[in-house]
Amino acid sequence: MNYQVISVLVLIALLPYKIIANSHIKYEKTNYYLDDIQKFKKIIHVCPEESSRQYVAPLVNKNGEEFSACEYQYFCHKNEPCVKIHTVNNINYFDYITYGEYLTNINDKSENMIFISCSEKSFKNGMCNTDICEKDSDCFSNNCVKGVCMVNDSNPSYICRTTKENSELKVKCLLAYEEKCNNDNECGDIASCSKDKICVIHNEKDENGNDFMKYIISLIAIIYVIIILIAIYYVRKNNHNEKESIKTI
């Protein structure tokens, strides 16, 4: 047993952290505007380059109906080119609260941006937070307030995703999470308009999901501890062996 094996063990131990931290999600600046995206092809065998994944993905609409289609995940402002997110997964962590993390520009790893912003109400209620922003341009909303990305009511963000409505596949660009709304139809993705008049993904639906996430996180924590104990054991054994061999010399 040598240090190579130990470093492999450490790398394995770090893997779940990387997956949970989501730091691998990339975004890409495009030349598409909101209206272009709504015309994208919804279902073909190999999805077009504009999609967020090469193959048809299993998706869910607002009513919980499951379907398969090419997934598009874009963030836009009115009259500005949109940004594509390179994942079919939801980047809004709705297991406990709405949370905005830095994603990385696929063409320039030094460029990072937070796409989820908070409404004042949710932030005060502890229902929304983001990674720490330093300047306005760290936030897709272009509004960094005391280290938190906040929505800008006069320049809302829109999220475009594939959905199924009356058995018809559509790509819809509607208000992003935490933006001000009057009714459910204005909110994008699977969000609805809360009683505070904010687009949110309701937490009640995901209570089972919470338990599952807690279970997975505890499991990962246990695996972590075991791997670290094994690593310590071998480091000690190594040291011991070295001392033994010195003695025999």
Ligand X SMILES: *[C@@H]1O[C@H](CO)[C@@H](O)[C@H](O)[C@H]1NC(C)=O
Interacting residues toward ligand X by CB under 6 A: 142-143, 152, 154-155
Pairwise CA distance, residues 249 & 6, whole Å: 27
Q: Where are the alpha helices (DSSP H) in 88-206?
A: 120-124
| Shortest distance (Å) from residue 136 CB to ligand X | 7
| Shortest distance (Å) from residue 191 CB to ligand X | 21
Query: Residue 116 or residue 201: which is nearer to ligand X going by CB?
Result: 116
Query: Residue 51 or residue 157: which is nearer to ligand X going by CB?
Result: 157
Count of Cβ atoms closer than 10 Å to residue 221 Cβ: 11
Query: Residue 73 or residue 117: which is nearer to ligand X going by CB?
Result: 117
Element (H, E) at 232: helix 207-248
Query: Residue 50 or residue 120: which is nearer to ligand X going by CB?
Result: 120
Number of H helices, E strands in the chain: 4, 15
| Shortest distance (Å) from residue 203 CB to ligand X | 28
Count of Cβ atoms closer than 10 Å to residue 217 Cβ: 12
Element (H, E) at 13: helix 3-21
Query: Residue 94 or residue 140: which is nearer to ligand X going by CB?
Result: 140
Distance between start and end Cα atoms, the chain? 21
| Shortest distance (Å) from residue 34 CB to ligand X | 15
Burial class, 183, CB count within 10 angstroms (exposed 0-12 / middle 13-18 / buried 19+) = exposed
| Shortest distance (Å) from residue 198 CB to ligand X | 17
Pairwise CA distance, residues 101 & 174, whole Å: 21
Query: Residue 30 or residue 142: which is nearer to ligand X going by CB?
Result: 142
Pairwise CA distance, residues 122 & 221, whole Å: 30
Query: Residue 143 or residue 162: which is nearer to ligand X going by CB?
Result: 143
Is residue 25 a contact partner of residue 131, using CB atoms and an 8 Å limit? no
| Shortest distance (Å) from residue 150 CB to ligand X | 8
Structure tokens at 87: 């994942």
| Shortest distance (Å) from residue 144 CB to ligand X | 9
